[in-house]
Structure 1
Amino acid sequence: MNRLAAFLRELKSPGNFLAALFLALLVAGALLAPWLAPHSPVAHSNERLISPGADHLLGTDQFGRDIFSRLITGARVDLLVSFGAAALAAVLGVVIGLIGGTTKGFPRMLAMRGIEVILAFPPIVFALLVVTLFGPGSLTLILTMGILFAPQFARVVYGEVLTISNLEYVQASRVMGSSSLRVLFLVILPGALPPVLVQLSMTVATSMLLSSGLSYLGLGVVPPTPSWGGMIAEGQAIMMTSPGLLFFSSAAVVATVLCFSVLADALEKSLDPRRSRKRGAVRQAPKATVA
């Protein structure tokens, strides 16, 4: 409850509040996209490159498709991919981090060396390799980014487990006769979850950016299903005659990634008291005097 209250206090900041409001409206719009979209997002028409108006709020593209309908439907697809990839990465990373932090010898070496192998690949190169081998699609994107971002969660959990395992209340639980699994899942894991939630928010933003880039290259969401990256590629082709499609789709990606980053920072401030104390100490430290 204290952490929830701290997070709500962080949302009182105008920037954090606007970011949370934008994301809430975006998620609501994505969930209600089939009912909110005034036109079919994939149906072609003769009303091509129409300027924004009452019938088409954001205008139409070069195929006569309603940009607003495609934008909110694309948000539904991109958010599903981003949240799915982040959730898969969190599950894999937590399991690997727990194995590495609670075992010794070969299991720990296998877990930690495995994530180092994945970290050795540049993200875009790894994603391009997997998508090229297995073909584009939403499921491929989720699996690829889930594996790609799992090491980040594993390293966070690994460090937290090593730190928490040596604390007095954990040692007391072991002395009182609690089993190793009980100590792990009921004592150690809850203490390691706050930084995982922060990492989850950051990973959603990174997944959104990477999936949009792959869709822009034609290796992400398969047309005619709308995606923001695909809309950016389509808008680039007509940017000189009708810049609306490129502007709206690019603005959607930038605003979403920025808001998730702001939300991650607010989560970190409220869920990690050590960082809050460190920031307070820095603010209260006297300035050095130059002789």
Structure 2
Amino acid sequence: MATSEAYMRTPTQQAWRRFMRSSSGKAGLLIVGFFVLLALLAPLIMPYDATKDRNLRERLKPPSAEHIMGTDELGRDIFTRVVHGSRISLRVGVFAVGIAVVAGTFLGLLAGYFGGRTDMLISWLVDIMLSFPSILLAIAIVAVIGPGISNAMIAVGIVQIPIYARLTRSVVLSLKEQDFVAAAEGLGAGRARIIFRHILPNGLSPLIVQATLSIATAILDAAGLGFLGLGAQPPQPEWGLMISKGFLYFTRAPWISLFPGVAIMIAVLGFNLLGDGLRDALDPRTSR
């Protein structure tokens, strides 16, 4: 009876039940949900203008009841800046991954479906990009187009394109030999319809999982660029930039770098756990 009820559930219901059985997935969902709510509600809970925030009389104060995470070298409240920094880091992560998903998926669809010279050219381009460490390639791109949070977002998105191009290509190579694709071709469906209406929807699961995991990588890369002064620029409360500014005072005021670093660690952990949970839920080999 239980088995028949399981088969009566829709694929979405089955995936949700598998996800809810994943402890790591639920923990990741809670962490990510917390940061998303924090980013959305920050302007309402504590309005903040980074350009006007400084109080030199309160500089380098340790954590206390008044400043629970202490203050930095300009007397700015670390807790307030960490909260508002979540908006920047999450925005960079989501938009950078969005750029990578759109561009990489399109290239992977072309390479996998058409094959031949198209596949060879795209694979050659992807191999060249993958031959460089991602952070070094991002640094080179920002050095060319100039520092700034928007350019850092573009750079992080570009370096992740090969991941989705390769993943999509492998998915397309396996799906285009399936019977439903042959049936669509037999009914006279055009190439664009077959690619975007039949192949792509059936290959979304690994892309969703990879996108979740890539947001964590994008947050780390953006923080690295901010630390080097190539990402967000002062006085923006970006976590990597905050760590960089606090590095000069680390022996006197370690809390300036410590708390933004902890925020990065927890956010990255949350997206990784969520990605693991989604992988378990969307894996068709997982038992019902």
Q: State the TM-score, normalized to the length of structure 2.
A: 0.90
Cα 1:56/1:91, change in 2 over 3 Å: same
Aligned equivalent of 2:35: 26
Aligned counterpart, 2:44: 35
Moved more, 5-14 or 124-133: 5-14
Q: Once the 2 structures are TM-superposed, how far is the Cα of residue 179 of structure 1 from its aligned partner?
A: 2.5
Higher relative contact order (CA 8 A, sep 6+): 2
Which consecutive aligned stretches of 4+ in structure 1 deviate over 3 angstroms post-superposition? 11-15, 38-42, 51-55
Map of 1:133 onto structure 2:
144
Map 1:240-259 to 2 at 5 A.
Answer: 240-259=251-270
Q: Residues 58 and 4 from structure 1, CA distance in 2 versus in 1: closer, same or farther, beyond 3 angstroms?
A: farther
Partner Cα distance (1:180, 1:217) in 2 = 45
Query: Which amino acid counterpart does residue 196 of structure 2 have in structure 1?
Result: F
Report the CA distance between 1:4 and its aligned residue.
5.0
- Residue type of the alignment partner of 1:18: A
CA RMSD of aligned residues (A): 1.9
Counterparts of residues 79-228 of structure 1 (less than 5 Å): 79-228=90-239
Q: Counterpart of 1:58 in 2: which secondary structure?
A: coil
Corresponding residue SS for 2:68:
coil
**CA deviation profile, 1:49-96 (whole Å, cap 9, x unmatched):** 233344333221121101111101111111111111100000001110
> Conserved in 2, the CA contact under 8 Å of 1:7 and 1:266?
no
Say whether the 8 Å CA contact 1:98–1:158 is kept in structure 2.
Answer: yes
Aligned counterparts, 1:41-80, within 5 A: 41-42=50-51, 43-45=53-55, 46-80=57-91
Q: Is the 8 A contact 1:164 1:188 kept in 2?
A: yes
Maintained 8 Å contact 2:26/2:277: no
Structure 1 residue 171: deviation in Å?
1.3
Q: Percent identity?
A: 35
What is the CA distance between 1:223 and its match in structure 2? 1.1
Q: 1:15 aligns with which of 12, 24, 27?
A: 24
- CA positional deviation for 1:97: 0.4
Distance in structure 1 (CA, Å) of the matches to 2:141 and 2:102 = 20
Q: Displacement of 1:220 after TM fit?
A: 1.1
Change (3 A) 1:79 1:193: same
Secondary structure in 1 aligned to 2:58? coil
SS across alignment from 1:273: coil
Give the letter for the 1:198 counterpart.
V
Whether the 8 Å contact between 2:109 and 2:172 is mirrored in structure 1 is: yes
- Give the letter for the 1:33 counterpart: A
